[in-house]
Structure 1
Amino acid sequence: MADRSGEASTTSYERDETMSARLDRNYNELLQELRVMQAGIQILFGFLLSLAFQSRFTAVSDFQRDVYVVTLVSATLATGFLVAPVPFHRLVFGRRMKDDLIRAATRYVAAGLVFLFTSISGATLLVLDFLLSRGVAVATTSVIGVVFVVLWVAIPMRARAQSDVGVRSGGGRRRA
């Protein structure tokens, strides 16, 4: 984007769009994020549902069964929260409630990500505990969990904090 002098501006994220256009863009971006997550959670959920019907599943320990139940419930809840924006949209469609929809969908996605994280961690722990020793499984799953938290939370929050500093120091106002 060029500023008034014709030079490319690198500090301003201002958009020349109406509130309606901004809401539409935000909702479309949210839908794109959901599409990425949907495939992963559906595959994991299907895997977990089929696992209980495998002949070797009867040989799991109490710990593994407990991890499985928590993981299955988490995957179910992740699916529910990550799909929730769709029926919400359908029920409020045409009522000029897109701002409410985006606010609610953002909360649903945040909750869905927590349950998705729990599901991925649980599935990893379950498989590793079945294949390796419990100590190795717990340690490996913990390291993987830390990597997920860094990628999903720490790095984005750091970028957000740096962005806020730029906004406060006059580096331009950013708007979603």
Structure 2
Amino acid sequence: MTEDDRRTGRDESEEERADRMWGELIQEVRVAQTGVQILFGFLLTVVFYPKYTTLSDANQHIYIVTVVLGACTTGALIGPVSLHRLVSGHRVKPQAVRLAARLTFLGLVLLLITMASALLLILRVATHDGYVPWLIAAVVAWYLTCWFGLPLWARHRHTTGTEDR
């Protein structure tokens, strides 16, 4: 058993591991991309509704920031597909998987910020109550818990001192 076998818990070559990790990563990206595409599509249409012109300057700025965040999120989550296509056949899959994983993580962070920004805009328009920032903080805390806290806790709790990088 090699050092790599002990680290991964599998008997696979670096290329086989990269192939497996690539497949897993693409499945994860598909889930996130669907949500981003729906949210971004909705955001792109908002400006064409008559109510948009009645929004305060602050709400219009929040909208613009949210659209730009949505575009950046879309780019980060589609990036791994382009990366794979451009490096395919050049024998750099393990490196491409690591880069694609970083792009995906960045996409998830941007998705969290985009969703918080969209929620801020919607709640500011729907209500002018002072509890809006508290609601958004609670939702962001929930996202942080579900998307990062629980996975990191599980990784810490269920690994035996080795880390799958």
Global fold match (TM > 0.5) = yes
- 1:18 Cα deviation (Å)? 2.3
Q: Which residue among 25, 28, 31 is the counterpart of 2:26? A: 31
C-alpha displacement of 1:174: 6.4
Residue number in structure 1 paired with 2:156: 161
Q: Is the 8 Å Cα contact of residues 14 and 94 (structure 2) preserved in structure 1?
A: no
Q: Which residue of 1 aligns with 2:91?
A: 96
Counterpart-to-counterpart distance in 2, 1:160 and 1:146: 19
Q: Which amino acid aligns with 2:94?
A: D
Cα contact 1:38–1:82 (8 A) shared by 2? yes
Partners in 2 of 1:142 and 1:55 — Cα distance? 30
Once the two structures are TM-superposed, the CA of residue 155 in structure 1 deviates from its matched residue by 1.2
Tell me, in whole angstroms, the C-alpha distance in 1 between the residues paired with 2:55 and 2:124: 10
State the shift of 1:52 in Å: 0.6
Report how far residue 13 of structure 1 moved. Answer: 6.6
Tell me how far apart the structure 1 counterparts of residues 75 and 8 of structure 2 sit (CA, whole Å): 34
RMSD: 1.7
- Which deviates more, 16-25 or 123-132? 16-25
Offset at 1:138?
1.7
What's 1:150 paired with?
145
The answer to whether the aligner puts 1:52 opposite 2:47 as a matched pair is yes
Aligned-residue offset at 1:28:
0.2
Q: TM-score, normalised by structure 2?
A: 0.90
Secondary structure at the aligned position of 1:135 is classed as coil
| Structure 1 runs of 4+ with >6 Å offset | none
Looking at secondary structure, tell me which structure has more helix per residue: 2
The aligned residue for residue 140 of structure 1 is 135
Larger RCO: Structure 1 or Structure 2 (Cα < 8 Å, ≥ 6 residues apart)?
Answer: 1
Match of 1:112 among 107, 116, 127: 107
Any gaps of 5 or more consecutive residues in structure 1?
1-11
Q: Which residue number in structure 1 is paired with residue 116 of structure 2?
A: 121
Partner of 1:19: 14
Distance 2:129 2:106 in 1: 29
For 1:70, give the aligned amino acid.
V
Deviation of residue 71 (structure 1)?
0.8
In structure 2, the residue matched to 1:76 is 71
TM-superposed CA distance for 1:19, in Å, is 2.0
CA distance in 2 between counterparts of 1:54 and 1:157 reads 42
Structure whose CA Rg is larger:
1
Q: What are the Cα deviations for residues 64-123 of structure 1, in whole angstroms up to 9, with x where unaligned?
A: 112111111110000000000111111111011101111110111111111111111111
Q: 5+ unaligned residues in a row in structure 2: which ranges? A: 1-6
Counterpart Cα distance in 2 of 1:131 and 1:106? 37
| One-letter amino acid matched to 2:113 | T
Count of aligned pairs: 159
Look up the equivalent residue of 2:73 and give its one-letter code: A
